[in-house]
Structure 1
């Protein structure tokens, strides 16, 4: 794990896509999400996960770290993040849960 400060934030979302599991559209969304979101300067340690617990119906996860609240706010307001949410996330994600952790 990266060096953490008191303000460190782990931002995570677990989600299910509208696309068929294993489809090219699903793979493209995950690849595009990683490519676009990692290009935002304040994002560190970005990970794409396959959710495997039988205790919920979500299928994927994105997780990323921010050094502090200001970096997290900059990410949320960044034009690439806003565009991804509006043009991809809102249209292709069926359900999601967002969890932000601090230490």
Structure 2
């Protein structure tokens, strides 16, 4: 397996108005839930300010390698967050994964 670390990023729009209480709760809950997964490193939440991009929010996190990235994808908290929150509250998204 490759020993390079992975930066996983996702930019997205929510079904809620930008800056709403519902949007803030989603961002806070996402950070709280996803950072409780042991393999997640350097988790950050972003709010878009550029007029060149129409996505409103972003999450970024690092993994030590592919094994940790796969463990994250299969972790019950991640699976539950995707099923219960992401799939119901996110309007559209773009996912990007880089090897560092």
The TM-score with structure 2 as length reference comes to 0.95
Structure 1 ranges of 4+ moved more than 6 A: none
Runs of at least 5 residues in structure 1 that lack an aligned partner in the other structure: none
Secondary structure (helix, strand or coil) at the match of 1:55 reads coil
> What is the total number of aligned residue pairs between the two structures?
99
2:72 is matched with which residue?
A: 75
**Separation (CA, whole Å) in 1 of partners of 2:20 and 2:50:** 21
Secondary structure (helix, strand or coil) at the match of 2:18 reads coil
1:16 is matched with which residue?
A: 13
Secondary structure (helix, strand or coil) at the match of 2:12 reads strand
- Equivalent residue runs for 1:53-92 within 5 Å: 53-92=50-89
Runs of at least 5 residues in structure 2 that lack an aligned partner in the other structure: none
1:29 is matched with which residue?
A: 26
Contact 2:43 2:61 in 1 (8 A): yes
The TM-score with structure 1 as length reference comes to 0.92
**Separation (CA, whole Å) in 1 of partners of 2:48 and 2:96:** 14
